[in-house]
Amino acid sequence: MIVIPAVDIKQGRCVRLLQGRMEDETRYADDPLKMAQRWEKEGAKLIHVIDLDGAFAKEVKNLESVKNILAGINVPIQLGGGIRDAQTISMYIEMGVSKVIIGSEALYNPALVKDACKQFPGKIVVGIDARDGMVAVEGWSKTSKTTVLELAKEFEACGVAAINFTDIHRDGMQTGPNIEETALLAEAVSIPIVASGGVSSIEDIKNLLKIEGKGVTGVITGKALYEGSLDLREAIKLTLQ
């Protein structure tokens, strides 16, 4: 299992949100690149970058920040937010993005995901964000009538590299990840699952490691790193034992 630090970008700055609410932000750095460089220095092997403005606007909004991160670090990034068409996917991969995360369009247009998997094998990640077990979309501003499991199974055989599974109620709250639901999802599909939302301490990493064997291959963490309640080096060391 790998530990993946999050760099969320809003209006060109590195922020964290509470439960995805744009008005509930904490700003951590004026330059997202500096945060990415910090996590690289501390041992990150993959960095999770989200264009928050893009997620709400349904189009790319922080392209310059993404370019700066790509040029300024040597580890791969996975990128999401505002990715709604094949052209945007191609643009990001041609720029050097290692994995492109498709969120809302995975629900609205599953054919986009399947076609992208064929065109870019191993580079497409599906982001499934859950509110009370139902898929939430458009920057988490809308909740669908589709369950997490229904959407995940849609992509079972198309070559998706991973599913990033986020429990919205826990995101940014540091209340611990939803171990039970993450384990159930991992058991139900053969696609690797990356847990997200709620990580608060090294104990949460230990708890996630207990379900690694079910197919949980990574964990995304943001606020715990920024607030200092989780040490990235310690977390990475633990996963290597």
Integer Cα distance of 149 and 182 in angstroms: 11
Q: Is 129 among the catalytic positions? A: yes
The contacts of residue 129 (CB under 8 Å, 6+ apart) are 20, 103, 135, 136, 137, 140, 165, 166, 168
Integer Cα distance of 59 and 78 in angstroms: 17
Which residue of the set 8, 51, 53, 167 is catalytic? Answer: 8
Integer Cα distance of 219 and 179 in angstroms: 11
> What is 78-110 written as a DSSP string?
EEESS--SHHHHHHHHHHT-SEEEE-HHHHH-H
Separation in Å, CA 35 to CA 9, 14, 78, 195:
11, 8, 15, 21
Which residue of the set 51, 53, 129, 167 is catalytic? Answer: 129
Q: Is 8 among the catalytic positions? A: yes
Catalytic positions are 8, 129
